[in-house]
Amino acid sequence: MTIQDAQSQVDQWIKTIGVRYFNELTNLGILMEEVGELSRIMVRKYGEQSFKGQENEQALADEMADVLWVLICLANQTGVNLTEALQKNIEKKTLRDKDRHKNNPKL
């Protein structure tokens, strides 16, 4: 699946099953919530905290997908083509950081 395919599939799902998009600010809040849920799992899997109760690391991929879903919703709502945006971002980082990390003694 391409990023464009994902944007199209999410849009189709929203318009048929989801009825309509939540407004942009609601989706921003949902995105923050989903990032928090992803963070919780990452901290427990890779950090010092341990899982408790019913929590488990199996949900990591699902939480990443939830973050991606809401980000795609926001892109669709605001007219952002994520394929183009990501390509431009890669180009920006390549130009800006071509020597930066190679010359970082901390790495």
Whether residue 92 lies inside any domain: the answer is no
Residue 10 burial (10 A CB sphere; 0-12, 13-18, 19+): buried
Residue 87 pLDDT class (50, 70, 90 cuts): very high
Whether residue 88 lies inside any domain: the answer is no
Residue 102 pLDDT class (50, 70, 90 cuts): confident
- pLDDT digit string, tens, across residues 18-29: 999 999 999 999
Whether residue 65 lies inside any domain: the answer is yes
How many structural domains is the chain composed of?
A: 1
Residue 52 pLDDT class (50, 70, 90 cuts): confident
Mean pLDDT (the chain) is 94
Domain membership of residue 46 as a residue range: 3-82
Spatial contact of 34 and 67, defined as CB atoms under 8 Å apart: yes
- Mean pLDDT for 31-45 is 95
Whether residue 97 lies inside any domain: the answer is no
Whether residue 19 lies inside any domain: the answer is yes
Whether residue 15 lies inside any domain: the answer is yes
Q: What is the CATH number of the domain that holds 52?
A: 1.10.287.1080
